[in-house]
Every structure is written in structure tokens, then in C-alpha cells.
Amino acid sequence: MSAASATPANFPSSRRWLVWSGIAALCAWVLVPIYLVALGALGGRQGVYQWPKTGLPTGISIEPFLLFLRSEGVTQSFLNSLGAAGITVVLSIALGAPAGYALARYSFVGKDSYRLLVLLTRAFPLAILALPLTVSFIRLGLYDTVYGVGLIHTVLALPFAALVTQGIFLGVPRELEEAAWIFGCSRVQAFFKVVVPLAMPGIVATAVFAFVISWNEVFAASVLTVRNRTLTAYLLTVLSESPMHFRFAGGLLLILPSVVFIFAVRRYLFAIWGISSK
């Protein structure tokens, strides 16, 4: 690289080629494993024992994957995962967005302490906190429920939501809000009629992230459930006794929704992380 760019004018094409081959290699590094697990999920039992493998999509069909979806516990745990993620999204936005607005628009005593509390959560392995919660959740009737899992996942997503919504509300010009007050809106009206529509895309992106955080969480969900398992907890517990192609199908089922969601918020990814890593 250094030799090529010492005289950049002479070697533009070779340098370009180097950049693009690097990019292509890194894209393959990300995509090929996903393609291979999809082959495994769609190849069924025969596919697993085929030797040597070619890596070409031969002998695949949707049947083995559907068979996996119909096997006992999969649909229910899928729905449980959706439920827990839904609770996480609603709670982390409902609790985090007001805090983000307060951080963005007011200066108050204790603001720095609050920011410190939020940032402190990042230095902790939060899912571990599920361990002592087992006892109190049993007492409260939250153990082995989707609500309990949703609550602990909200602990993971809430600090993130508060920080990101702070950035989003800072990005909405305060002048617009003030203009609304002058035209007779109350603070609450101005917030819902002026700020919310402008902040909406960012808030939706934050919600999607909260969803993905909950959807992917394994440890807390496994500790806090027995029968009402989320998809990750279910797959973890049946892992050792399930056949290979079921494991691959499980992996694919876990990957698909989050890939779609990441695609949906791809334009906001970098802005969000720019904010939350400040």
C-alpha cells in the first residue's frame, strides 16, 4: 500500500484494485458463512452427512426448514421472543425517550449524575444481573414469563434508548418548538405536534435496536425461563440433543428477522452510534 501511494498518480488502477479486492474479501467473510448455514438449514438430514460438500445449492428445499418450524416448541418460543422484544421496545422507548428529552432540553441539578448512571450500565455485564432476579421474580410471579424477560431486556436497552433519543431531540431545532408555543400550543401540544413528527425516524430506529437487543439475548432469557422459553433460550436448551440440521435451521431462524431489521435502519446506524458512543 505504502509503495503504491507514495506516487499515487502513477498507480491509480493497481491501488483501486487493491481497495476493491480488500472490500470484496471482507464482504465474502461476512456473507459466505450465512450462505453456508442457510444451505445447512435447507439441506435436511441428507445434506448434513453429504461428503465431501461442494458448497453449491444442490439438494436443497424449504421442507426441512418447515419441518423444523413445525417441531414442538419452536412456534411457541418464536412467539415468546416476539412478546419479550415487544415489551422491551415499548418500555425502553416509553421510559427512555422522556429522559432523552429532559437531557436534550433542560439543564438541571443532577443531570451529570444521571448521565453517569446511564453510562455506568455500560461497564457492567447486564445480563448477569438475571441471576439474583430469579428469586425476586419467583416471588412476584414474573419468573418463567415473557414479562420477566422483557423487564430484564429493558435494562439492556433503556440506557441506549435514553442516550440515543437525547441526540435525536438535540437534532430537532428548538426554534420550531418555540414558534409553536408562540402560536398558542402548550408545551405538551408542541412536543407531540412539532417535535415527535421530526424525531420519529430516529425513534423508530432506536425501537428497532431495542428489538434486536432483546431478540438476540441468550443468557438472561435462559436463566429466567423454564417452560415459556424465548427462541434463544429454547435453542440453547435443546442444543445438545437436537440433530445438526435442526441446529442450522435454528440459527437461520434467529438470523433472518434481525437481518431484515438492520436493513430497515441501515441509514440511521452510523448516526445512532455516533451519538451513543459520545
Binding mask 87-116 toward other proteins (x if CB under 8 A, else -) reads: ----x--xxx-xx-xxx-xxxx-xx--x--
C-alpha–C-alpha distance, residues 147 and 138, integer Å: 12
Binding mask 50-89 toward other proteins (x if CB under 8 A, else -) reads: xxxxxx----------------------------------
Site size toward other proteins, by CB under 8 A: 115
Q: Which is nearer to other proteins, 83 or 177 (CB)?
A: 177
CA distances from 12 to 18, 20, 26, 104 (A): 10, 12, 21, 46
Our finding on whether 202 is near other proteins (CB under 8 A) is yes
In this structure, the dihedral spanned by the alpha carbons of residues 88, 257, 128 and 144, taken in order and rounded to 10 degrees, is 70
Closest contact distance (angstroms) between CB of 46 and other proteins is 11
Our finding on whether 263 is near other proteins (CB under 8 A) is yes
C-alpha–C-alpha distance, residues 271 and 266, integer Å: 10
**Peptide bond between residue 98 and the one before it cis (omega within 30 degrees of 0):** no
3-state SS assignment for residue 50:
coil
Q: Name residues contacting other proteins, limited to 216-235 (CB under 8 A).
A: 216-219, 222-223, 232, 235
Our finding on whether 37 is near other proteins (CB under 8 A) is yes
Our finding on whether 182 is near other proteins (CB under 8 A) is no
What count of residues does the chain have? 278
Our finding on whether 36 is near other proteins (CB under 8 A) is yes
Binding piece for other proteins, criterion CB under 8 A, among 63-71, 72-80, 82-90, 159-167: 159-167
C-alpha–C-alpha distance, residues 77 and 73, integer Å: 6
